[in-house]
Amino acid sequence: MSSATCDHLVIGSTPLAALLAALLATEHGRRVAIVTDPYSPFAMRRSFDLSMAPLTRPETLMLLRRCGEETLALLARAGKSLVDKVDPQFVAETPASQAALGHFRQLARLLEIAAEPVADRTVAQGAAICRVRGVSVIAPERFGPALDAFLDRHGVRRCDRLSTTVALRKDGSCEFDAGGQVVEAAATVLADDASIVALLTPETRDRVLLPAPALAILAQPARPMTLPPTVFLDRGVTVGREPSGSIAAIVEGDPATASERLAASVQRALPLRRAGEAQLHRLATLDGAPFVGPGRGHKATIIAGLGMTGAFLAPAIARMLVGGSPPDEAAWFARRGPGRGNQRLDAAEFVAVVP
């Protein structure tokens, strides 16, 4: 028999998962537990969590700006300097992605987002490049330990993913074993792709969720270099410089061509010395729209397809989870949940075809 209960179990090892647990506990007064990988200073970067990206839906950009301010306020309470300010670059090399990037720049101008074209042939020949100034990026080496301590201070039960078993129920509740104690959670939130893959079969996800191969790579450049977060939309490559001077990369698409595409994206750093590599369990949506809602045959909440800005949407997601969304946010989530026909197409973002 269960000896403890909580309102929400959040499962995930991403900044989004940690922020959701923090917001549910501190802003909404919920009893919360999180199943996650413990922070390790030796862990490789598995995501670039930015407060802005070249999105093509104005309602998403407006929501992201508002939620981004709330997220930064939470991070300021949780610790010191948990984000860095960067000027990321987004590189488009095909007509379709160049059109999408141009559309983003038009929206950015209307919304007073500091996005500007860049002419730099050393990044990519013949490409359209957009730089967005003053973007916040989560610093994992500071975020991880600070959020762990913040969650502890606010009574969030932290459970090691490798030693915790979770039994989902169709009504969205679950039972989990936390260090020998069985705990009941009234609602379950699958807040990263790895947890969705681990706990749900393809039949119990949603038909729009598809596996998307990706690698996390850490490499040493041939010489010290500056490298802002740079996203090559058509190559499926995101690269950036770590505080140690190493280059961190997330390479989506065919693993067989990952090394070639990475090398083409950091030619000034060649030859690279590979220092680490990890396979990522990623999911993509078939229609390009984010997915936030229940899967098939159960009511656990699935969160997928939010891209690199997902962590900065955490305040709106937390409100949705407790039934407190204002009308504009409720409408935003309604178009990005499970749906039939063309309902979700009205929320689709541009997704480049990655080799």
- Count H helices and E strands in the chain, helices first: 8, 18
What dotted CATH number matches 1-85+137-208+286-355?
Answer: 3.50.50.60
Q: What is the mean pLDDT of residues 316-333?
A: 98
Cα 325–Cα 64–Cα 47 angle in degrees, nearest 5: 115
Q: Categorise residue 258: left if φ over 0, alpha if ψ from -120 to 50, beta otherwise.
A: alpha
What confidence score (pLDDT) does residue 127 get?
95
Q: How far is the CA of 49 from the CAs of 28, 30, 52, 298, 313, in angstroms?
A: 24, 25, 9, 29, 11
pLDDT reported for residue 14: 98
Q: What is the pLDDT of residue 341?
A: 57
Amino acid at 244: S
* pLDDT grade for 353, boundaries at 50, 70 and 90: confident
Mean pLDDT of the chain: 95
HSE toward the beta carbon, residue 255, CA cutoff 13 A: 12
Confidence check: pLDDT of 307 > 50: yes
pLDDT tens-digit readout, 86-143: 999 999 999 999 999 999 999 999 999 999 999 988 888 889 999 999 999 999 999 9
- Angle between helix 58-78 and 95-110 (nearest 10): 70
Whether the pLDDT of residue 269 is over 90: the answer is no
Would you say residue 212 has pLDDT above 80?
Answer: yes
- Tell me how crowded residue 296 is: count the other CB atoms within 10 A of its CB: 15
Tell me the CA end-to-end span of the chain in Å, nearest whole number. 51
Q: Where are the domains of the chain?
A: 1-85+137-208+286-355
Upstream peptide bond of 315 is cis (omega within 30 degrees of 0): no
pLDDT-derived band of residue 43, with 50, 70 and 90 as boundaries?
very high
Residue 342 has pLDDT above 90, yes or no: no
